[in-house]
Amino acid sequence: MSPTSQKKGRKLDITNDVVKFLKDLQAKQCKQVTLTILALRQDATPHDCALLSGYHPYRRVEIGEYRVIYLLDAETVYLAPVGKRNDDEVYRWLKR
């Protein structure tokens, strides 16, 4: 497949808070979360994503004990906070 015929991915809109969160993770978890975020460029609705109940149109993807919350349109994936599954801070951010 030539480079020009490859499917073009979406852009990623990553906040400074997400970058800081990733920097604070241990190497293994950082790699797992980062690879999942990058994969959203090619497939923004993977089989394990879900619409957030009560927070439409936000979606989430689970990576072990971590959650990536995001919005998307035809061209861009907008990352909201990334956090631990049992940490309510991610969901408090959505209520703002």
- Is residue 28 scored above 90 in pLDDT? yes
Give the pLDDT mean for 16-44: 95
Its sign, for the CA torsion 80, 62, 89, 28, is: negative
User: CA dist 46 to 27, 36, 49, 55, 83, Å?
Assistant: 24, 10, 6, 19, 19
Q: How confident is the model at residue 84 (pLDDT cuts 50, 70, 90)?
A: confident
Any bridge partners for residue 13, and if so which? 78
pLDDT at 7: 60
Distance from C-alpha of 38 to C-alpha of 70, rounded to nearest angstrom: 13
Percentage above 70 pLDDT, the chain: 93
pTM across the whole model: 0.84
Cβ contact 77:13 at 8 Å: yes
Q: How confident is the model at residue 92 (pLDDT cuts 50, 70, 90)?
A: confident
Distance from C-alpha of 49 to C-alpha of 56, rounded to nearest angstrom: 13
Give the pLDDT mean for 48-66: 91
Rounded mean pLDDT of the chain? 87
